[in-house]
A = this chain, B = another copy of it.
C-alpha cells in the first residue's frame, strides 16, 4: 500500500482550510555567513516559525536538483519519480491552451533562418503583436492533412505553443531545435518506434511553417522542444477529497495547478493581486496554493540583495493571510535557488507549519539552518501533503 492508496482511502472533506505558500526557490546558501533568508528582515515569517514547527524538505531526494514540475508535484502529494511532466504540457496549460487525450504539445520559438542556418533562435524577439499575427496566419494557411489538426497559440515575444491532434501520437520525440545559432534547423527524431507517426506530422508542419512564413523578415521558421502528451494523473479531488485553488501569477504554475484539478483563480501580476485573490475566494475552496515567484527569479539572476528584498517584500503580506485564519498554514519552497549558484539546487527547503495541532519546537526564524533544528526534522517534500491534510484533520485513522 502506498501513499496514494492511503490518501484515497483516508481523506475526507471537512470545513478546515489549508494555505500552502510556495516562496519559489527561497532556500539559499550563506554569503558572508548568512543565507538570503538569514539576511532578510522578515519578522512575520519569523513569527510564524516561532508559532509553528519547522523542518527541511528534500524536493525529490537528497542531492537531486529538480525542475519546477517535479518539485511542485512533490509538494502537492504526487511522487515526482512516478509522474513526469514534459515542459511542453506545462507551458501549454499555463498559456490557457486546452489539451486533451489525443493531443501532443510542444513549446515553440519563432526563429530566423538564413542560408539554411539558424541565424537567431528568437527571431529578434519579435513583438507579441507580431507573434499574434503570425499565429493567425499559420492557423489560417497551414495546409490541412487527413486526420490531423494542428494549431499554434501565441505566447510572449517569439514564444508559442504548438498542438497536434491525431490518433496514436507519441511524445517520444527529440527536440526539433539545434539549441545553438549557426546550425541547421533539426527535424524531430522518433526516440521509440511508435513515435514515427508523430515525427512525420511534426516535420511536415515545420516544412509547412517555413513555406507559409517564407516572406517574413524575421520570423521565418519554427523550433520546437519539450514534446509532451497529456499525462495520466489523478486530480487532487480524486486523491485528497480537496476543493483546491491556485493563486499564481505565472503560466507554468497555473498550468501545473490546472493539470491536478485545481481551480486557477484569475490573478493580476502583482503580489497584492495574489493576496486579494486569496481573500476573495476564501469561502469557495479548502486548499489554496499560493505561488510567489520573485524569490526564484532573483536567485536565478544571482542577485543576493534582490532575493533578500524579495523575501522582505512578501513578509508584510503574511499577516493578511493569517487574518483569514487558515487551519493549516505552510510556508516553504519548491526547491532552493541559491543566488550563489544562479539556478535551482538540490538543497533542502526550509519548511514551516502553523496549526493548532502543530506541536512545538525551539525554532524562531524561518531560515535553512534554523529549520534544520526543528521538530519536523528532515523529510521529503512528498510528505508535505499528508502533513497538511493531517493537521487540517482531513485524514481518517488507518487501520483499527
Chain B nearest CB, measured from A280 CB (Å): 30
Copies of the chain in the assembly: 2
0 or 1 for each of A354-395: is its CB under 8 Å from B? (1 = yes): 000101111000001100111111110001011111110001
Chain B nearest CB, measured from A229 CB (Å): 15
Q: Is the interface of A mostly helix, strand, loop or mixed?
A: loop
- Partner among B345, B362, B375, B390 whose Cβ is within 8 Å of the Cβ of A63: B390
Q: Which residue of B lies closest to A71 (CB)?
A: B399
0 or 1 for each of A308-349: is its CB under 8 Å from B? (1 = yes): 000000000000000000000000000000101101111100
A362 to B63, CA, bound (A): 21
0 or 1 for each of A23-39: is its CB under 8 Å from B? (1 = yes): 00000011001010000
Output the residue of A1, A357, A376, A397 with the most chain B CB within 10 A. A397
Is A30 within 8 A of B372, CB to CB?
no
Q: Which residue of B lies closest to A372 (CB)?
A: B375
Q: Does chain B have a CB within 8 A of A60? A: yes
Tell which of A79-87, A98-106, A177-185, A212-220 binds the partner. A79-87
| Chain B residues in 8 Å Cβ range of A344 | 397
A69 to B400, CA, bound (A): 6
Q: Does chain B have a CB within 8 A of A174? A: no
| Chain B residues in 8 Å Cβ range of A390 | 62-65, 345-346
Is B379 within 8 A of A62, CB to CB?
yes
A387 to B65, CA, bound (A): 10
Tell which of A2-10, A163-171, A199-207, A265-273 binds the partner. A2-10
Q: Name 10 A/B residue pairs within 8 A (Cβ), A-sorted.
A: A3-B61, A29-B357, A29-B359, A63-B388, A67-B397, A84-B399, A85-B400, A346-B395, A347-B359, A373-B373
Known: A359-B368, A361-B369. 15 other contacts (CB 8 A): A1-B81, A3-B61, A6-B64, A29-B359, A30-B360, A33-B360, A35-B360, A60-B398, A62-B386, A63-B386, A65-B397, A70-B399, A343-B397, A372-B377, A378-B379
